[in-house]
């Protein structure tokens, strides 16, 4: 096993008997969070870092569940001994959010009193609800204050929300490829993804588990929308160009089409459609400044931590301009903030990739974080 | 009626008994083109302008079919007495392309020998096939040489293809918001649109007319993809922002979602799904330089006309950079070309809109075109 890997990891489950009230007013009773940890919590519990996942992410961020697992966790490039989020210094916690489909309570869990899966009736979580549930997980783990809360995309929104809701419970907030709120275009892309799922007869109004059907095509289409828009135009051109799949002049399929079809089919076999709807909706509804009358500066004035904001040059769904809005609001609120725009061809997907300058900046920043 | 309108217009149908062979090798027997004309053809037939339509366009480009028709033709802003394409000087021809669903032979027409609609069996036209059919329409109308061939988007590809295939049959080529070929990203968006249609059970393998079904949801989704990507991020933000549709805190629908849903439903009631598949496929397959070993300069060396190339600053599906590739290839081929990039917030849709600088440039250019 690679020296810089956290090695074999085993997920754990934390169960909470106290009901959690979502911002929509609905309550969750007897809920569970699945999570992983990497590294050791120190005696003063001052070296803990929370990783918040994005749209289709989960708790398995680093290492492998078994030696023969094909791929490591989704952020293995960043987390491990000697990596930017260095597990020799930090105790790293990564969870699956409520409403997810990887082990935490969500649409696939049994709805109390019905014996049936929640399905489409699972309450709509918002980013703040996730943060509240993560705060209870921190209590459960004996962590009063995170050394840092880190996330990319929707995860970056959670990290910023932590700084607003629990200003005394984190010392650093790292928001990567995030935004104060989605643009109309972003909402529209999410709406296409949702419509594709809803229109699939296999979706069965969200009751596909009960009905024994699967919205395979709809979920695959939703994933295709994500795939295209999270990559840059240049990255797609580099990867696929206009190559046809076959030399048969009657076969007009381009490589990019068959790739998307394959990726879409793969995704629909491992992800839950109701979760996809909930997660995209949470993205749409996030508005950092909503409770401050739309004024992000006023919102950030409540925060007490330091910030690192990162963006990627070719990311057009969470463009550098969106990150600069975060930075500008933080500066106006006189909060300490570092910012870097990473030159990279990979679009929004850049935040998941081992881009040297990106890892270097993250490492340098975290080296300054006291444990 | 507005002085600058061409007034009431009546479509006509040209029938061709000689078979047309498509580039895929299939032949069309006894085919028809529906078209409209505006203005008068002069005695030497030297004042004719051909308008080529884009993805979801048709022959009805200007004027009204009846005094109470709600909207005029799709390019009424540009065509009429005193407008940039001035019908006091020019005889303007606008047709519906083969494979269309507005009257020309297409998937809704009866397949000879079967008594059934062509449906999904209609041969795949390519841009060059359309140009060949348009050349036969020109013969039919007694037009040896167009004063200009003009088109936006897919229409611009037809205009450029005219210059390559029939160099002696046009004096000016106006390619607006076009490209030498689509990018992988553009192909991918088209593929999403097609998959949405194919996945709709109402599509019935393309035999919805025979089966009495309709791929309403799929076609609506396809249109939504077009709508979002043909508008700029800024244009969507200006039009919709993040306004919710209702004040009900339990109703999370944004304005942009209900707008898209409405537009999608509208479109699916007036457009044909098989046509949408054929038209997007023709877009994907277009490659101006394909017959010149990928060398656009070599391709353009065959041309004999003058060119006007126009692009729109916020168009990200047919970006200004794509238009500059056309211009660069023309310059390298030592062909006369004028180019302007129009500052406009409306993205690709700009080419359909009455943007003053756009209309001014088009008017100034066409004023120099001899009749």
CA distance A315 to A355: 14
Instruction: Name the residue among A184, A188, A199 with its Cβ closest to that of B217.
Output: A199
Helix (H, G, I), strand (E, B) or coil at A61: coil
Helix extents (H) in B232-345: 233-240, 255-270, 273-285, 296-300, 320-332
Q: What is the DSSP letter of A214?
A: -
Which residue in B187, B223, B290 has the most chain A C-beta atoms within 10 A of its own C-beta, making it the best mutation to test that interface?
Answer: B187
The answer to the question of residue B3 being in a domain is no
Which residue in A242, A273, A318 has the most chain B C-beta atoms within 10 A of its own C-beta, making it the best mutation to test that interface?
Answer: A242
pLDDT given at position A1 = 53
Q: Which of residues 303-362 of B touch A (CB under 8 A)?
A: 316
Determine phi and psi for B92, rounding to 5 degrees.
Answer: -105, 130
Domain check: are B264 and B314 in the same one?
no
Q: Distance of alpha carbon A216 from its chain centroid, rounded?
A: 22
Tell me if A102 sits within 8 A of A58, measured CB to CB: yes
Domain boundary among the residues A242, A263, A282 is at A282
CA distance B40 to chain A (A): 42
Domain boundary among the residues B246, B261, B282 is at B282
Reported as half-sphere exposure (CB side, CA atoms, 13 A), residue B257 has a value of: 20
* Known catalytic residue at B247: no
Q: Do B257 and A196 touch (CB under 8 A)?
A: no
A213 and B CB contact within 8 Å: no
Chain A residue with minimum CA distance to B244: A285
The answer to the question of residue A2 being in a domain is no
Low-confidence residues in chain A, pLDDT < 70: 1, 249
Q: What is the DSSP letter of B150?
A: E
Q: Do B195 and A124 touch (CB under 8 A)?
A: no
- To 5 degrees, how large is the angle CA A327–CA A128–CA A228? 65
CA distance A328 to A299: 13
Domain check: are A26 and A75 in the same one?
yes
Which residues, in sequence order, are CB contacts of B226 under 8 Å at separation 6+? B55, B56, B193
The answer to the question of residue A4 being in a domain is no
CA distance A12 to A141: 12
* Known catalytic residue at B315: yes
Q: What is the DSSP letter of A353?
A: S
The answer to the question of residue B1 being in a domain is no
Domain check: are B27 and B168 in the same one?
yes
Tell me if B37 sits within 8 A of B92, measured CB to CB: yes
Q: Do B199 and A187 touch (CB under 8 A)?
A: no
What the block records as the tokens of A7 is 């090695």
Domain check: are A261 and A349 in the same one?
no
How many domains does one find in chain A? Answer: 2
Residues pairing with B31 in the sheet? B16
Q: Which helix (H) or strand (E) holds A220?
A: helix A216-230
What the block records as the tokens of A238 is 């580099």
Helix (H, G, I), strand (E, B) or coil at B162: helix
Adjacency order of strands within the sheet including A48-52: A12-16, A31-38, A91-95, A48-52, A148-152, A172-176, A306-312, A337-342
Q: Do B183 and A239 touch (CB under 8 A)?
A: no
CA distance B358 to B350: 9
B-chain residues near A201 (CB < 8 A): 201
Domain check: are A81 and A166 in the same one?
yes
> Catalytic one among B153, B161, B232, B323?
B153
Reported as half-sphere exposure (CB side, CA atoms, 13 A), residue B99 has a value of: 29
> Catalytic one among B76, B132, B315, B349?
B315
Strands B85-86 and B79-80: parallel
Q: Distance of alpha carbon A286 from its chain centroid, rounded?
A: 13
Q: Which residue has the tokens 């053809």?
A: B41
The answer to the question of residue A6 being in a domain is no
Domain boundary among the residues B221, B253, B282 is at B282
Domain check: are A32 and A154 in the same one?
yes
Domain check: are A234 and A359 in the same one?
no
pLDDT given at position A233 = 86
Q: Do B184 and A236 touch (CB under 8 A)?
A: yes
Q: Do B191 and A256 touch (CB under 8 A)?
A: yes
Domain check: are B20 and B164 in the same one?
yes
B-chain residues near A257 (CB < 8 A): 187-188, 191
What the block records as the tokens of A142 is 């004996």
Q: Do A236 and B185 touch (CB under 8 A)?
A: yes
pLDDT given at position A296 = 98
Domain check: are A151 and A270 in the same one?
no
B-chain residues near A199 (CB < 8 A): 196, 199-200, 217-218, 221
- For A96-110, letters b (16+ CB in 10 Å) and e give bbbbbbbbbbbbbbe
Which residue in A120, A191, A230 has the most chain B C-beta atoms within 10 A of its own C-beta, making it the best mutation to test that interface?
Answer: A191
CA distance B149 to B147: 7
Domain check: are B42 and B140 in the same one?
yes
Adjacency order of strands within the sheet including B148-152: B12-16, B31-38, B91-95, B48-52, B148-152, B172-176, B306-312, B337-342
CATH code of residue B330: 3.40.50.1820
Our CA dihedral for A24, A27, A30, A32, rounded to 10 degrees, sits at 0
pLDDT given at position A174 = 98
pLDDT given at position B255 = 87
Q: Do B184 and A218 touch (CB under 8 A)?
A: no
Domain check: are A118 and A147 in the same one?
yes
Q: Do A185 and B233 touch (CB under 8 A)?
A: yes
Number of H helices, E strands in chain B: 11, 12
Q: Do A261 and B195 touch (CB under 8 A)?
A: yes
Q: Distance of alpha carbon A281 from its chain centroid, rounded?
A: 13
pLDDT given at position A256 = 87
Q: Which of residues 40-99 of B touch A (CB under 8 A)?
A: none
What Rg, from alpha-carbon coordinates, does chain B have?
Answer: 20
Active site residues of A: 153, 315, 348
Residues pairing with B339 in the sheet? B309
A-chain residues near B185 (CB < 8 A): 228, 231, 233, 236-237
CA distance B45 to B144: 8
Q: Do A236 and B287 touch (CB under 8 A)?
A: no
The ipTM estimated for the assembled molecules is: 0.89
Residues pairing with B95 in the sheet? B35
pLDDT given at position B1 = 53
Domain check: are B130 and B154 in the same one?
yes
B-chain residues near A227 (CB < 8 A): 188
What the block records as the tokens of B125 is 């036209």
Chain A residue with minimum CA distance to B195: A221
User: Could you list the residue range(s) of the whole structural domain that residue B111 is in?
Assistant: 12-181+287-367
The answer to the question of residue B5 being in a domain is no
Total residues found in chain A within this entry: 371
CA distance A193 to chain B (A): 9
Q: Do A252 and B285 touch (CB under 8 A)?
A: yes
Cα→Cα distances A93→A9, A39, A90, A173, A364, Å: 12, 9, 10, 15, 20
pLDDT per residue over A190-203, tens digit each? 999 999 999 999 99
Low-confidence residues in chain B, pLDDT < 50: none
B250 and A CB contact within 8 Å: yes
The answer to the question of residue B45 being in a domain is yes
pLDDT given at position A59 = 98
The answer to the question of residue A77 being in a domain is yes
CATH code of residue A272: 1.10.1740.110
B193 and A CB contact within 8 Å: no
């Amino acid at each position: 096993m690679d020296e810089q890997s956290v090695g074999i990891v085993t997920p754990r489950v934390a169960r909470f008997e106290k009901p959690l009230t979502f911002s929509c007013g609905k309550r969750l009773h007897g809920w569970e969070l699945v999570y992983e940890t990497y590294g050791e919590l120190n005696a003063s519990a001052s070296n803990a870092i929370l990783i918040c996942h994005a749209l289709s992410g989960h708790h398995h961020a680093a290492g492998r569940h078994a030696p023969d697992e094909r791929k490591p966790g989704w952020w293995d490039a960043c987390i491990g001994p000697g990596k930017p989020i260095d597990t020799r210094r930090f105790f790293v916690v990564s969870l699956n959010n409520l409403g997810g489909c990887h082990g935490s309570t969500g649409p696939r869990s049994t709805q109390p009193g019905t014996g049936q899966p929640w399905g489409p009736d699972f309450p709509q979580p918002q980013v703040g609800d996730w943060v509240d549930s993560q705060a209870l997980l921190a209590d459960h783990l004996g962590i009063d204050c995170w050394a840092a809360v880190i996330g990319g995309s929707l995860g970056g929104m959670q990290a910023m929300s932590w700084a607003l809701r629990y200003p005394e419970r984190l010392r650093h907030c790292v928001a990567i490829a995030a935004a104060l709120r989605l643009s109309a275009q972003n909402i529209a892309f999410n709406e296409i993804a949702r419509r594709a799922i809803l229109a699939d007869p296999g979706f069965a109004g969200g009751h596909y588990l009960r009905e024994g059907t699967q919205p395979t095509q709809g979920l695959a289409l939703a994933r295709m929308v994500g795939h295209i828009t999270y990559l840059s135009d240049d990255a797609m051109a580099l990867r696929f160009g206009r190559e046809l799949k076959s030399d048969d002049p009657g076969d007009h399929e381009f490589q990019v089409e068959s790739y998307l079809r394959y990726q879409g089919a793969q995704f629909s076999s491992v992800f839950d459609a109701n979760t996809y709807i909930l997660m995209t909706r949470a993205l749409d509804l996030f508005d950092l400044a909503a409770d401050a009358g739309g004024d992000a500066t006023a919102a950030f004035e409540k925060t007490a931590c330091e910030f690192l904001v990162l963006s990627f040059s070719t990311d057009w769904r969470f463009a550098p301009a969106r990150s600069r809005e975060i930075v500008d609001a933080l500066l106006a609120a006189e909060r300490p903030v570092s910012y870097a725009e990473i030159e990279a061809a990979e679009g929004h997907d850049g935040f998941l990739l081992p881009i040297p300058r990106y890892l270097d900046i993250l490492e340098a920043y975290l080296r300054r974080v006291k444990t």
